[in-house]
Amino acid sequence: MSNELILGENRVCANTGRVANSHSEQRLEPLPLAFLNYLISRAGEVVSRQELLEHVWCNRQVSDDAIRRVVKKVRLALGDDAKEPRFIKTIPLQGYQFVGVVEKASDLSITQRRPLHGWWLFIACLIGIVLVWLGGAHFDAKGGAHYEAKITPLTRISGSEMGGEYNAKTNTLVFMYRGSNREPFSLYAKDLTRNLLYRLSYDDGAYHSISMSPDGQQVLFKRDTGEGYHVFVAQYHQGALLHQRRLEIPHKNLSLLGWSANGQSILYNANVAGDNTYYKASSKAIFSYHLTQQVSTQVTFPLSKGRGDILARESFDGKYLAVVRNQQLRQYRLLVFALADGKLIHEMPLGFEASNMVWSHTQPNSLLLSSFKGQLARFYVDSGVLNVSALVTPGLNDVFGECAQDCLLMRRHGMNYRDIVSMPNPFVAKDMTSAMLKIASDQVEWSPIYNHDGTAIFYLSRDSRYSYLYQLRTEGVNAGKKTRLYRFDTLDAINGLQVSRNGKQLLGRREERLFMYDIPSQKFIWLTGDDEQIMYANWSADGRHIYFSRVEQHRYKLLRYSLEAQKVARVSDDILARIEDESGRVFMLRDDFWLVQMRSSGDERPLVQLPRLAELTIIARDNAIYWADRQSLIVHLNKLNLNTLQQQAFPLSRNEGTFNFDLHPKLRSVIYSKELLAASDLVQVTDRE
């Protein structure tokens, strides 16, 4: 008997969660699928929150936000609208009701359905993106008919290419390039019509971002002048930048986001400062700078606990402004505004962090979004539908244009990101030349930490299929012995590794779910559900508790997990993390990223405001606080003396974007993952039968 259901235009496999229609194919995760199946089993009835907790969440205590996120995922997959529901109706203060018509599908398998057409068939072909290096691969998209995606390099320069932008009017590609990690980025352009490559910059200034005006006659870029980054605009003529002039934009530390449709203004984001108290944080907003009037105007006004508005693109016809907003640490939303009146016409959650966004040249009023992990989506303004490809292609990311129907311009990455290195602790070492550990690999290395006594390290390595958690002995008779402890999916972001003080347990997060690994028994334990948003987690000083924060109704709640009782208790609100040192001092990271010390009297002693990062290492040890941040192009290791509040900074690495590190238990060294040259190129990806 078929387990496939017909819900309107959707064909849903009740077992696998595959949802297919004439526009797209997606796969529901187990929890949203269980929610949908249960609602269908009670079709027409109002299902209460308590019933959902009992039958879908198995009596786990979860927040209303967690339930709403699951409902949104189901609605998104079915193309349902909460305001005019065809399938799932919200009954205020009561629960949810399935109001759609359910039909059993025929015995035809889901692979015999009407094939996906156009662009999304092409996306299905990218499942075998191992072809990036093997020269081509096939994917059975229509039950036996094979398709092949063709990868064509656009520039063929050995090194690292990134920040690509395509100008369709002139068929020109502009991008940044560097040959090694020791040199800054330079600016390049490629005339794709005449197959001519131009180097646009020759000085030693470090460049960051490049964008070509809609008419192809001007180029916008950022350059380090020795006094920080400044924005410049220049005339572009036959591979040369002429008449460069610096723009006097009032904001510092801004990010360029592109041009307005008429070429008269540029878009950027910058922090909007809070008030003068240390309890208020700032987030990024979108600004427009008029090139002639030389005036900046704030365009968006995010109310966000996260980074705010991180991406923005104006449509080619000047009708719409698309914005990606970081609502809080790992929550992202897509907003589309009508530029004529500033009205918000679409707002929806994104299931991934978009690293790039571009309007389509071939499908009017549609928008392409992609992530560094290889996720890809298209949003249709007219229908308000966001089609997220169920297929993820590690190593192929950051879509920046379309060259034709079923032809995308993207960045191809070699996935050899990092080596693990250690160095003497710069704040205590007198000799910085002594030999230290280095682990080189042809795979990705992340988040190294020391074990409890410094005789081993734990780290993560990733290939195209899996992420592996390893223990490597660095001292003693077993020095050099590597043990694989656990295996994750390669797309899982594993962060926040910490070892317990007795060295027997590892704590960490897979995406937003907290886990513990018991080293002696090799037992893996989930501490939270997959529907909870978990942030920074830390061991208590005595090792009996784990403190972590959870998002509930757009606020952060600090919780405490007891290993003995295996229960969670609420500690306080609006706190991201609790850190305890060996002497019993307690530090709190507030949701505005101010770190405060809790005095015995109960009041707070403000220490320092830390960078607003989803992954932030804070170590309290030996009467000091340690953390990392970036100043200009350089990542610094920082130390704050708790007696004098004197701050010291030591440059760890240049041209880096990761801030994870660990200190040796005896403070003699620091270990971190150092970025390698991001061997990458800009490519054209086309569909061919």
CATH code at position 637: 2.120.10.30
Residue 520 located in a structural domain = yes
606-611 contacts, C-beta under 8 A, 24 or more apart: 606/278, 607/640, 607/642, 607/645, 608/640, 608/647, 609/278, 611/659
Residue 311 located in a structural domain = yes
Per-residue DSSP letters for 623-667? Answer: TEEEEEEEETTEEEEEEEETTT--EEEEEEEES-----EEE-TTS
Taking the whole predicted model, whether its pTM rises above 0.75 is answered as no
Residue 127 located in a structural domain = no
208-212 contacts, C-beta under 8 A, 24 or more apart: 208/176, 209/163, 209/176, 209/255, 209/256, 210/163, 210/165, 210/174, 210/175, 210/176, 211/165, 211/174, 211/256, 211/258, 211/259, 211/266, 212/165, 212/167, 212/170, 212/172, 212/174, 212/236, 212/259
Residue 424 located in a structural domain = yes
What pLDDT does 538 receive?
94
Strands (E), 381-477: 385-388, 396-404, 407-413, 418-424, 438-439, 444-450, 456-462, 466-473
Report how far residue 406's alpha carbon sits from residue 408's, in angstroms, rounded to the nearest whole number.
7
What pLDDT does 444 receive?
58
Report how far residue 489's alpha carbon sits from residue 394's, in angstroms, rounded to the nearest whole number.
12
- Residue 469 Cα distances to 420, 456, 489, 490, angstroms: 14, 13, 11, 11
Residue 464 located in a structural domain = yes
How would you classify the pairing of strands 545-552 and 555-562?
A: antiparallel
- In this structure, the answer to whether residues 384 and 531 fall within a common structural domain is no
User: Which structural domain, as residue segments, surrounds residue 531?
Assistant: 418-675
Total structural domains within the chain: 3
Per-residue DSSP letters for 305-356? Answer: SSSEEEEEEE-TTSSEEEEEEEEETTEEEEEEEETTTTEEEEEEEESS--SE
- Of 75, 110, 145, the residue that ends a domain is 110
- In this structure, the answer to whether residues 454 and 598 fall within a common structural domain is yes
End-to-end Cα distance, the chain: 34
Nearest to 587 by CA among 274, 576, 554: 576
Q: Which residues, 6 or more positions from 636, have their beta carbon under 8 angstroms from its beta carbon? A: 628, 629, 630, 649, 650, 651, 652
Side chain identity, residue 424: P
Report how far residue 324's alpha carbon sits from residue 311's, in angstroms, rounded to the nearest whole number.
5
- Of 76, 110, 144, the residue that ends a domain is 110
- In this structure, the answer to whether residues 210 and 267 fall within a common structural domain is yes
Residue 544 located in a structural domain = yes
- In this structure, the answer to whether residues 362 and 435 fall within a common structural domain is no
Cα 562–chain centre separation = 30
What pLDDT does 289 receive?
96
CATH of the domain at 14: 1.10.10.10
Q: Which residues, 6 or more positions from 339, have their beta carbon under 8 angstroms from its beta carbon? A: 314, 318, 319, 320, 321
Running DSSP on this structure, what letter comes out for residue 573?
E
What pLDDT does 579 receive?
95
CATH of the domain at 326: 2.130.10.10
- In this structure, the answer to whether residues 469 and 406 fall within a common structural domain is no
- Residue 120 Cα distances to 126, 194, 376, angstroms: 10, 30, 10
Q: What is the 3-state secondary structure (H, E, C) of 165-203?
A: EEECCCCEEEEEEECCCCCCCEEEEEECCCCEEEECCCC
Nearest to 72 by CA among 85, 55, 53: 85
CB count in 10 Å sphere of residue 47: 21
Split the chain (689 residues) into runs of 10 and give each run's mean pLDDT: 77 82 75 88 87 77 75 88 88 85 60 36 36 31 41 85 91 90 85 92 84 96 83 93 92 91 95 53 87 94 84 95 86 92 89 89 90 86 82 78 84 74 84 65 72 91 80 88 86 84 91 89 86 85 92 84 92 93 92 91 91 85 91 84 94 72 91 74 75
Q: What is the 3-state secondary structure (H, E, C) of 89-158?
A: EEECCCEEEECCCEEECCCCCHHHCCCCCCHHHHHHHHHHCCHHHHCCCEEECCCCCEEEEEEEECCCCC
- In this structure, the answer to whether residues 72 and 186 fall within a common structural domain is no
Per-residue DSSP letters for 251-281? Answer: -SS-EEEEE-TTSSEEEEEEEE---SSTT--
Radius of gyration of the chain (CA): 26
Residue 136 located in a structural domain = no
- In this structure, the answer to whether residues 394 and 482 fall within a common structural domain is no
Q: Where are the alpha helices (DSSP H) in 320-455?
A: none
- In this structure, the answer to whether residues 436 and 476 fall within a common structural domain is yes
- In this structure, the answer to whether residues 299 and 166 fall within a common structural domain is yes
Give the H/E segment covering residue 515: strand 513-518
What pLDDT does 512 receive?
78
What pLDDT does 224 receive?
83
What pLDDT does 63 receive?
67
- In this structure, the answer to whether residues 348 and 471 fall within a common structural domain is no
Report how far residue 184's alpha carbon sits from residue 493's, in angstroms, rounded to the nearest whole number.
28
Sheet holding 356-359, edge to edge: 356-359, 366-370, 376-380, 385-388
CB 193 within 8 A of CB 183: no
What pLDDT does 66 receive?
78
- In this structure, the answer to whether residues 78 and 199 fall within a common structural domain is no
Report how far residue 210's alpha carbon sits from residue 202's, in angstroms, rounded to the nearest whole number.
15
φ, ψ at 299 (rounded to 5°): -105, -40
Largest CA distance in the chain: 76
CB 44 within 8 A of CB 99: yes
Residue 177 located in a structural domain = yes
Side chain identity, residue 332: Y
What pLDDT does 641 receive?
95
- In this structure, the answer to whether residues 375 and 476 fall within a common structural domain is no
